[in-house]
Structure 1
Amino acid sequence: MDTNIRIGDFFSLQNSVESVNESDYEIEGLIVEAAKAFERSTYQCVYIIDYFKQGFLYVSNNIARLCGGEAEKIKDFGYRFYIDYVPEKDLKMLLEINNSGFKLFNSIPVSERKEYTISYDFHIRRGNRKRLVNHKLTPLVLTKDGRIWLAICTISLAASNEPGNVIMKKPGAGSFYQYSLYSHRWEERKEIVLTENEREVLSLSTQGYTMNDIADNICKSVDTVKACKRSIFQKMDVKNIAEALTYAQNHQLI
């Protein structure tokens, strides 16, 4: 793709990694084996970013489902993958998220940084078609000064209709950070709280239970289940159960 964006643009000075030695890579084999094991247990595509060597340490084989490229080829491409497979408008968005994300990450105490995950949606092109995917990134190994050396990422089909939806949070936190692509800044927001019934309704929905099945399972009326769903949609500001499930998964509510 003809674009002015270059691979080096993705490696922000906010996360300049300089204190890694070759001896530190002795853990590489163990990390790759762990990623392969994770790949076998999930439908998601998995890859590992190496911010020191500015490339990919590992790419799962199932990534061909999304873009049609072979895993080894994409691994060799490294960040060229984004330039070749992501529309330019979304590429510019990814650069903005990348730079703003590292600024926020560096404001977090070093002792807490590995607990955070950033999630966002963007398009991947496959031939003349494009698919909206959800991308999550979380630190795997930090340098002594708290920079991200290795990060593990997952890619899956997005439930939303538009790119963006950028959030950063840690499990169990009462708040999360949401990035606005309009005001170009992070905003801290209070996390929603689900009742026990709402949590049960969501969890059972992931298993494909019907409204009547859910009502029987939680010993409530169908009207109560409907009321729970309405409350969930209102709290999450979503329109259907698929969007609610995506919200819950991204915010680690179930």
Structure 2
Amino acid sequence: MIKKNDFFSAVNTVDNIPCNHEHIISSLINIIQSVARVSYHSVYLIDYFSKSFLYVSNNPIFLCGHSAEEVKELGFQFYSEHVPEEEQNMLVELNSNGFKFFDRHNNDKLKCYMLYNFHLQHGRKRILVNHKITPILLNNKGQIWIALCIVSHSAYKTPGHVQFHIEGSPRYWNYSFKTHNWEEQQGCTITNDEKDVLILSAEGLTTSEIADAMCKSLDSVKYYKRRVFEKLEVGSITEAIFRAAIHKLI
């Protein structure tokens, strides 16, 4: 069973924060609360100085039957109680190697984000979630003081699928649990027609309705879908929309 300190890396040991930190945190929480009110995602804040959760939204995706305040009080113990044991070590490895990778991009640290997938377990019920994490406040040494986490339902069928992105860069990195290294990838591009197919699919239109909306033949729309699946290396339109959104293609 993992322990609280397993989630903290020596690379990111935060030993100092601003004197007016209480005011900064209060203002930040007010902003994030406003964001959470208009989002269907679950949102929470991690404080790497106090090693605690600063804020947890009341979206049930992440709560596993608890109230938001209960999850906030549990903090990192929440993962020990609600992530399957076989996936807990994956999270610990990602925290360690993720912080090291954030540190390698020190000048762009506030533009970086990491995403991965794991199960949350409540009794017999398991759901696979997508978890995104990005720094939002650094201390004066450039260490990650506070991070924003977004949790949503995963479009994948299995845990893992770890990626590291830098905003505005076509490059991204996949993490390999076999080599324990980050492997650089080149982002793909899609045509305007392929983008339209994805956007209209996200709006709930059928293939026939998309063909009518685009004034294209049914075969053309099917071709655009196949091309998108090949480029994004996915097997369904749900995965394609999810992957395209991550890569800022739509």
User: Shorter-chain TM-score: which interval?
Assistant: over 0.9
Q: State the distance in 1 between where 2:60 and 2:137 align.
A: 23
Q: Which residue of 2 aligns with 1:223?
A: 219
One-letter amino acid of the counterpart of residue 234, structure 1:
E
Q: Verify: 1:27 aligned to 2:24, yes or no.
A: yes
**Which region of structure 1 is more displaced relative to structure 2, 20-29 or 240-249?**
20-29
Q: Verify: 1:200 aligned to 2:196, yes or no.
A: yes
State the Cα distance separating 1:37 from its structure 2 match: 1.0
Q: Secondary structure at the match of 1:209?
A: coil
Q: Verify: 1:50 aligned to 2:41, yes or no.
A: no
C-alpha contact (below 8 Å) 1:64/1:70 kept by paired residues: no
1:182 to 163, 171, 178: 178
> TM-score w.r.t. structure 2 length?
0.96
- % identical equivalent positions: 40
One-letter amino acid of the counterpart of residue 214, structure 1:
I
1:74 to 62, 71, 74: 71
1:208-250 Cα shifts (integer Å, max 9, x gaps): 0111221222222221111110001111111110111121122
Q: Which residue of 2 aligns with 1:245?
A: 241
C-alpha contact (below 8 Å) 1:12/1:99 kept by paired residues: yes
Give unpaired runs (5+ residues) of structure 1.
Answer: none
Give unpaired runs (5+ residues) of structure 2.
Answer: none
State the Cα distance separating 1:109 from its structure 2 match: 3.4
2:124 to 113, 116, 128: 128
Q: Secondary structure at the match of 2:71?
A: helix
One-letter amino acid of the counterpart of residue 188, structure 1:
E
Q: State the distance in 1 between where 2:201 and 2:61 align.
A: 29
Q: Which residue of 2 aligns with 1:102?
A: 99
State the Cα distance separating 1:22 from its structure 2 match: 4.5
Moved >3 Å (runs of 4+): 63-66
State the Cα distance separating 1:65 from its structure 2 match: 6.2
Q: State the distance in 2 between where 1:9 and 1:109 align.
A: 23
C-alpha contact (below 8 Å) 1:66/1:124 kept by paired residues: no
C-alpha contact (below 8 Å) 2:113/2:134 kept by paired residues: yes
Q: State the distance in 1 between where 2:177 and 2:155 align.
A: 19
Distance 1:83 1:65, change over 3 A: closer
Q: State the distance in 1 between where 2:246 and 2:170 align.
A: 14
Aligned length: 250
Q: Secondary structure at the match of 1:68?
A: coil
State the Cα distance separating 1:252 from its structure 2 match: 2.3
Q: State the distance in 2 between where 1:9 and 1:158 align.
A: 25
2:88 to 88, 91, 94: 91
